[in-house]
A and B are shown apart, each in its own frame.
Chain A
Amino acid sequence: MRVVVAMSGGVDSAVAAALMADQGHDVIGVSMQLYDQRPREDGSPAFGSCCSLDDLHDARRAAAALGLPYYVMNFERQFDALVVDRFVAEYTQGRTPIPCTRCNSDLKFSTLLERAAALEADVLATGHYARVSYDEARGQYLLRRGVDRRRDQSYFLFALTQTQLARARFPVGDLEKAEVREYARSRNLPVAEKPESRDICFVPDGDYAGFIERRDAGARDAEGAFVDASGRELGRHGGVHRFTVGQRKGLGLSAPAPLYVLSLDADGQRVVVGPKAALERTTLEAAEVSWMAGAAPAAPRRALAQIRYQHAAAPGVLTPLPGGRAGFAFDAPQPAVAPGQAAVFYDGDEVIGGGWIS
């Protein structure tokens, strides 16, 4: 079988490539160049720590160590249009986006998968911690959490369709991170000890507000009011794109008890703040819901819902709604249900479906 492995320059995708090669597959390593990598004209590097030329260099070295053909494909235009523009737009609309999910479903398992098919590859493998398998009884592909629960990335993959899952392989999904590193060492991969990347790859310094303001003049000039739940103004701020629901730090407000962002009103440029208790919600509604089985469950059912990457999925009742929507009623209140984040529904460790919190 011919396999294209998407190599990011990190240890997980390098080991994914190694595992596929060791299973005897015909492996081609590919990295996606997502940005203009040229240094700026004043001589400073274009990007800091991630998605950089260093990462492409690491991917190339790992492929060379494995003796694999390796190519860098340019996805700058597509990434900009499908991921970065959306990221900026969502923040300016008072939402908290997850660009990684869009990148997976709309770029990696879309454009890159097509490029792989053009190279006569049967499947596309990545270094995600998740598991995909075919269930004969149900006649469908299942997406399950990775064996290493702390690193599980199924949350970022919920939007993959059956067609996409049929061509996806996640070779490290059956391993613990420590085993991945051990495998990398045993294969003498130069990235075996490379630290994990954090933050969003195109904002390596973590300054989302600065990034958004460089791309969007409206955000640059935005300003508005902090208000409490009753609408009383408590202070001024530099635009809703600077905030996310549940945020406490960086508000610059003084109050007897700590204040948290409760909600964002982009049209009125209002940031509603209040005490921690007011953050808790027992229900959510998600839009653009995709179901692994291809169709919504016939009736409400018990399930787990995960509402951000670092959230322990919580139990409750999942109710399919018309118009590609779904509701979820938690058994116990959950803090900081942020519009724009994904709500992913699980049955045990199996993804049932997911959508975007509205």
Chain B
Amino acid sequence: MALYLDHNATTPIDAAVADAMDGALREDFGNASSVHGWGQRAKARLDAARASVAALVGGEPTEIVFTGSGTEADVLAIRGAAEALEASGRRHLVVSTIEHEAVIQTARALARRGWEVTWLAVDDSGVIDPAALDAVLTDRTALVSVMLANNEIGTIQPIATLAAMAHARGALFHTDAVQAAGKLPIDVAALGIDLLAISGHKFSGPKGTGALWVRRGTRLVAQMTGGRQERSRRAGTENVPGLVGLGVAAARARTRLADIDRVAALRDTLERDLLAAVPGTHVNGRRDARVANTSNIGFEGIEAESLVIAFDLEGIAVSTGSACSSGTLEPSHVLKAMGLDPHDTQNAIRFSLGFSTTADDIAHVVARAPALVERLRTVTAGAASRGRDAATVGREA
């Protein structure tokens, strides 16, 4: 049985998306900047995609900048806004400690360029306290970046409240909505933000596509320089087939939201049954106000890395949340930021469901998990009792 429960990493492509991309690849192959008919047809397909993506987030088509990934959208938002604001003397950036690497590393890069960066803590349930933001905002704050939903634990952040605070001090507000799009309704007006990033492959669109919504009038310096595509905000010939796919995926994501409660019910079943079947387990992060598909479960006394491999050998794809460059697993910076005990930052498994996940799938995981966990615990306990468990040595060091 092959069972995919890693939809926060990526999703299977929707058949309608693949069909639409196929047409754009084979027939409407034109360059959207060209004057002739081929160019015009490609341009028309891009326009339709732009309208669809705008509708997904509640914005206007002219406010959408297509990018090559969610990461690129985050980088364009943060670096682009930072560069635009630098001359005004605002050189202070506030980001949360549970952001995706796309935001974290971009903030670090700005810090190396002399920006002041404030890291916003989360509480033990994985949520930012708005009072904490209020305390660090200054008249020099240029931008605040807080994700809408966390990729590892799924918690939804109080973006509207945070954005209002930032605006009260004259700062812009960016949100990384990569893990929220397709999992909860998004309305940029209600959130009151300035910038929002999404990624196509997280909601059954193609990889290599992303978009940044930029509130009309927001100053942004292009990071990819060249031609005048995307209103001179992102140069380079548009990936028409990919973006056509992104547009179809965005439209389907909106309609599929009607089915999200079923996904949430399956997730809740998984948590209830898994916690009952496997002793020494707990859910990480707040259980309400989470995206519907995500569950982060700690298995006491095991290394998550080994459990992910053991699950994979059984045909069950899950994840620890964050993977580094070589594909190995590191202690989760999100769980660390929540103040978890060091052991508990390395025993957590992320299950992320999709719209195709069934009750049988959940039952299968719950049936297989106890034996796998028991085996790993036996081995770990044996190693520890012989006093040469290197992992323990490392932790104590």
A residues neighboring B (CB under 8 Å)? 28, 33, 37-38, 41, 53, 56, 69, 71-75, 77-78, 80-82, 85, 106-107, 110-111, 114-115, 117-120
Contacts and interface: CB of A to CB of B under 8 A. Distances in A.
Give the bracket for the number of chain B residues in contact with chain A: 20 to 34
A73 B395 contact: no
B390 A107 contact: yes
Contacts of A82: 390, 393
Contacts of B379: 114-115, 117-118
B397 interface: yes
Interface in B24-52: none
Given A69-B313, A81-B394, A114-B382, A119 B326 contact: no
A110 B112 CA distance: 41
Given A117-B379, A118-B375, A38 B388 contact: no
A117 B313 CA distance: 14
Interface string B283-319: 0000000000000000000010110011011000000
Given A71-B309, A77-B394, A78-B390, 4 more contacts: A33-B328, A77-B395, A78-B393, A114-B380
A74 B395 contact: no
Contact of A53 (B325, B329, B389): B325
A298 B379 CA distance: 36
Residue of A33, A38, A85 with most partner-chain B CB within 10 A? A33
Contact of B310 (A56, A106, A110, A119): A119
Given A106-B388, A107-B390, A118-B310, A74 B325 contact: no
B212 to A, nearest CB: 25
Contacts of B328: 33, 72-74
Contacts of A115: 303, 306, 379
Nearest to A31: B326
Residue of A78, A117, A118 with most partner-chain B CB within 10 A? A118
Is chain B's interface secondary structure helix, strand, loop, or mixed overall?
helix
A76 B371 CA distance: 28
B217 interface: no
A59 to B, nearest CB: 10
B391 interface: yes
A14 B330 CA distance: 26
Interface string B122-139: 000000000000000000
24 contacts: A37-B324, A37-B325, A41-B108, A69-B312, A71-B309, A72-B327, A73-B305, A74-B328, A74-B330, A77-B391, A77-B394, A77-B397, A78-B391, A78-B393, A81-B394, A82-B393, A110-B390, A111-B391, A114-B383, A114-B389, A115-B379, A117-B379, A119-B313, A120-B375
A78 B394 contact: yes
A69 to B, nearest CB: 7
Interface string B321-342: 0001111111000000000000
A95 B382 CA distance: 34
A33 B391 contact: no
A160 to B, nearest CB: 13
B376 interface: yes
Nearest to B382: A114
A56 B327 CA distance: 10
A53 B324 CA distance: 11
Contacts of B303: 115
Contacts of A119: 306, 309-310, 313
A118 B383 CA distance: 11
Nearest to B327: A72
B62 to A, nearest CB: 36
Interface string B228-246: 0000000000000000000
A162 to B, nearest CB: 14
B390 A74 contact: no
Interface in B344-397: 375-376, 379-380, 382-383, 388-391, 393-395, 397
A49 B396 CA distance: 31
A118 B313 CA distance: 12
B306 A118 contact: yes
Contacts of A78: 390-391, 393-394
B389 A111 contact: yes
Contacts of A69: 312-313
A33 B376 CA distance: 20
A88 to B, nearest CB: 13
Contacts of B325: 37-38, 53
Contacts of A41: 108, 112
A111 B329 contact: no
Contacts of A107: 390
Nearest to B303: A115
B383 A111 contact: yes
Closest 10 A/B residue pairs (Cβ): A77-B394, A78-B390, A74-B328, A118-B379, A111-B390, A72-B328, A33-B328, A81-B394, A81-B397, A81-B393
B326 to A, nearest CB: 5
A56 B305 CA distance: 17
Contacts of B306: 73, 115, 118-119
A130 B375 CA distance: 31
B101 to A, nearest CB: 10
A53 B312 CA distance: 23
Contacts of B390: 75, 77-78, 81-82, 106-107, 110-111
Contacts of A72: 326-328
Contacts of A74: 305, 324, 328-330
Contacts of A81: 390, 393-394, 397
A19 B380 CA distance: 30
Contacts of A37: 324-326
Nearest to B309: A71
Nearest to A60: B327
Contacts of A71: 309, 312
Nearest to A70: B327
A117 B309 CA distance: 12
A288 to B, nearest CB: 14
